Structure 1
Amino acid sequence: MFRNMLQSDLFFVSLAILLASHEISGEITAEVQNAVNLPKCYSCEGINCLRTTRLNATVSCSDKLDICVTIYEDFAVSERGCFSEISLAGQAKCAAKDDQCQKCSGQLCNNQGRRDFKCIQCIGSDSESCNKGATASLTASQCGLPTSANSYCYVKVVGNKKDQLQRGCALSVKEQKSCLEDSECSLCLPDNSSDAVACNNFDLDLSDKSGAGQGQKFMSLGVAFFALLLLKFLN
């Protein structure tokens, strides 16, 4: 009887150890699995890097120790992918520690612009200092991935009453064109920035534009009327 009780106790102890070991093994396996996943990177080459439809294209690296990279021509993206699989020219930029190569470790981490592509990014409705520009201590931050051959920072007048400023990164041709066509928006080149000051720290006039607009229209009409009189006189 004593032997049967001892065998029974040993059975339950062994079962408990087995279950505990299985649980711990399961947890370790999950952690190890996460640690050995092959890196995945955003991928593109050439003109495809400037197409918004290709922004989310990805590739899985073949080496667990590989990293993601983004290669630039000036500020325009020319390549993205796993370091071991990009062009030799791109790898050479990375080897030379060129600003036109940006490396990162982590899943899908190569989704940023160049480290020196920085703009002030704020809106006056959230921060009053955003409306003050050069007189405020506004900090620039790294911009997202551009899909344009040229990268710009911008400042524009916003709000229902046109009484606020917004500052940010103009990443696409559409955004840049929209700003150029807006008399209350202005672009600047990020290479005019420094570590301390972004190029879009300047101010725009938040006063009512209607008076200036009417004055410009009146001046245009006056010039046109004078031109007609001159033409009549010459004939």
Structure 2
Amino acid sequence: MQSTSKYICATILIAAIVAIANANSSRTCYSCSGADCGRTTKSVTVQCFDSLDYCVTIFDKFNVVQKGCSINLPIELRQRCDANTAECHKCNTDRCNNLGQANFMCLECDSEKNADCANNPTAIAATRCSAPTAPNSYCYVKSANNVVSRGCATNIADQESCLKDANCMLCLAGDITNCNSVNIGDMSAAQRTLALNSKFLFNLQGKK
């Protein structure tokens, strides 16, 4: 009887140690669902229960619909990850699920630091943008005071600021590869107007 009690106690102790070890080694992921994923002032993290679990971001095209630990995903969303689609970003380090959809890539540069940004943008490799909080995912190119800058416009404030600036243009990353590689500094007013009406999109309520 005494040996049985010792065995039970030992089993409980081992289980407790394993649980603590799992808790200490498990991932910490950004977490949100639905509209909360679009709130820039709300950044929530969760610790995954299983040490083998990983962080995920789920997209509807380019729009973030859920972040968290994979084990907590609804079945219909987890299927996107199981199928390795572009609408699921999986990663295995703490708080790593902060990137946008795999095809949300823009040139990111500043001509003060890299002359190619203004004169030879096609020589610069596009980089993956961070997860957007706006409904649409845009790249931008801006010219101001003889300085050209290019990058990702991931929140509504940045997108609206660009819309109000005659020397800033937005484009949808999913439509054209390296869409913000246009040389706006060399454009005339007429050419810029043509670019605005064709290659670039200025309606934030447009294609999603």
TM-score bracket relative to the smaller structure: 0.7 to 0.9
Partner of 1:111: 98
In structure 2, what is the Cα distance between the partners aligned to 1:47 and 1:95?
24
Q: Of residues 141, 145, 150 in structure 2, which corresponds to 1:155?
A: 141
Unaligned stretches of 5+ residues in structure 1: 1-32, 210-235
1:180 paired residue number: 163
What does residue 71 of structure 2 align with?
Answer: 84
Q: Residue 208 and residue 163 in structure 1: after superposition, are their counterparts in 2 closer, same or farther (change >3 A)?
A: farther
Whether contact under 8 Å (1:61, 1:82) holds in the other structure is: yes
1:68 to 43, 55, 79: 55
| Partner residue, 2:6 | none
TM-score normalised per structure 1: 0.68
Aligned partner of 2:185: which letter?
Answer: D
The structure with the larger Rg is 1
Shift of 1:39: 1.0
Matches within 5 A, 1:1-235: 37-54=25-42, 56-133=43-120, 136-158=122-144, 162-194=145-177, 198-205=178-185
Give the ranges of 4+ consecutive aligned residues of structure 1 lying more than 4 Å apart after TM superposition: 33-36, 206-209
Q: Distance in 2 between matches of 1:89 and 1:99?
A: 15
Aligned partners of 1:36, 1:116: CA distance in 2, in Å?
34
| Cα offset, 1:208, TM superposition | 10
Aligned-pair CA distance for 1:205: 2.6
SS in 2 for 1:53: coil
Letter in 1 for 2:126: A
Secondary structure, aligned partner of 1:43: strand
Q: What's the TM-score, normalizing by structure 2?
A: 0.76
Give the total of aligned pairs.
Answer: 169
For the 8 Å contact 1:157–1:165, the answer to whether it is kept is: yes
In 1, Cα distance between the equivalents of 2:79 and 2:169? 36
8 Å CA contact 2:108, 2:151 repeated in 1: yes
Q: Secondary structure at the match of 2:149?
A: strand
Query: Structure 2 stretches of 5 or more lacking a match?
Result: 1-20, 190-208
- Would you tell me which structure has more helix in proportion to its own residues? 1
RMSD: 2.1
Q: Distance in 2 between matches of 1:205 and 1:116?
A: 26
Instruction: State the percentage of identical aligned residues.
Output: 38
